[in-house]
Structure 1
């Protein structure tokens, strides 16, 4: 196997990680729907087990990709014949890393934490509040509030996948803030929170938690706006 083939496989795995993240968002959405319609649905536990299993798979794939990258980086500097032992070396190193992990760490996965926060927040609402919040808000008020609540401070457009900073509590679009963090780190610099006046000078990926409730509000706003525009055109 050539290194180019290995790199192609890693690219496919990274695409799988994106799909896995989308799947975890869907699991959270389904769980929130259940909470809003059935206060103590037994299905919530099953969905929690599902998202924990997804978190395990996400973790393991990330560790595997990192292991392969580490091993192939070492091979690049050696003789071509080192490729023959590449598979065994990856398996050995990956097994060592996985053996040191604990399932308790899965509860710290960003999307698992977002799942729990979303469920707890949804369960604290009664059915009337949830209905008013998600379906029966006046469209004109919703449109007025959108610019303040749903706009990413980096892109200045409506967020698609909002994440919340656990330190300063500001929201950003996930892709935009991750891009900024990685750019600053490549420059050997810390990433300052892009919200004007914020004193948080060191935004880290580990500080960011997906905000599924805000994401649902944005999606509902888009549906309401589309419906309103359709009515106006008619």
Structure 2
């Protein structure tokens, strides 16, 4: 019996390792998931554990500072690895970004044309309609207000062009292999420079050479003064310091008379088509019939004194001319009606 008991004790002692031995083989089991215990870690693990503790402290501080109604802030455990955006220096652009700048410049151009094509046309239509129905001070006041709107549209158009031209200029620099430093600051500076240069010009220099403004003033004059020669644009814009002499003919638009008559039918234009080569306009049906009876290579322009060859491919619609022709037709009808009334009064 004593011998048997001794053997059982010996077996049990071999099967049950001491606690000291467990500590030696598995030292991390006691401190493995306890972030507050720093003992037992090697030198690399301790800084990591310290960063985690600091991040947890930041989370608790933020949660405490938030009100009950505010949504909880989203905190990234890797916050210490984020880029400091506020202090991140602007990076220079190179050729890889050149195509992007060119694309953005084209977007500016497309938006500008879409917005202002309709706006300019509307302003011109409103002006000619007011000139047709109003007289005296009422007409002057209304047309002055539309004139201001037209100038503001041109100002906005120029500002949009400044963005477009600046981006194109930066693109060209990159394509030449010149890196662009401080792109954002450079872009804003160049846009402002172009806008300021335009604003510093005189009224004549800002608007007198603008095709949209010239057409705007021309349309008003034609309605108010049918059959008269269109004067130089300088006659509509007072001279300012820095302008050339009024004898300068660079900005003239006059010297022609628009009677809105078709050279073929000799009546006021109907659904007019204008030649893209010589600029003469004809009633749509009349010019189609005229060219249909000629060779495919084209026929001579039917306008007096013009020998330009015309084909239907050269003829384009002109909505602005069509509206002005309709106004001219209404004026002619009013004049005819007034003449008949005067004749009746004389007979009586």
The TM-score normalised by the length of structure 2 is 0.38
* Deviation digits for residues 28-68 of structure 1 (CA, Å, limit 9, x no counterpart): 00111111111243221111111101111112222321221
Aligned length: 159
Name whichever structure is richer in helix by fraction: 1
Deviation of 1:172 after TM superposition, in Å, equals 7.2
Q: Does 1:35 align with 2:35?
A: no
1:71–1:89 Cα contact (<8 Å) kept: no
Superposition misfits of 4+ residues, deviation over 4 angstroms: 140-147, 195-198, 217-220
Deviation of 1:217 after TM superposition, in Å, equals 4.8
Deviation of 1:96 after TM superposition, in Å, equals 2.4
2:118 corresponding residue in structure 1: 22
What are the ranges of 5 or more consecutive residues in structure 2 without an aligned counterpart?
1-92, 228-258, 282-304, 309-317, 328-348
2:104–2:167 Cα contact (<8 Å) kept: no
Deviation of 1:88 after TM superposition, in Å, equals 1.7
In the aligned structure 2, how far is the partner of 1:85 from the partner of 1:219? 55
The TM-score normalised by the length of structure 1 is 0.54
* Deviation digits for residues 103-134 of structure 1 (CA, Å, limit 9, x no counterpart): 512222111111111111111249xxxxxx99
What are the ranges of 5 or more consecutive residues in structure 1 without an aligned counterpart?
127-132, 155-169, 174-194, 199-210, 221-234
* Deviation digits for residues 152-191 of structure 1 (CA, Å, limit 9, x no counterpart): 144xxxxxxxxxxxxxxx5279xxxxxxxxxxxxxxxxxx
The structure showing larger relative contact order (alpha-carbon pairs under 8 Å, at least 6 residues apart) is 1
Which of the residues 317, 321, 325 maps onto 1:214? 321
Partner secondary structure for residue 150 of structure 1: strand
In the aligned structure 2, how far is the partner of 1:145 from the partner of 1:216? 10
Q: Does 1:107 align with 2:207?
A: yes
**Rg comparison, structure with higher value:** 2
2:105–2:164 Cα contact (<8 Å) kept: yes
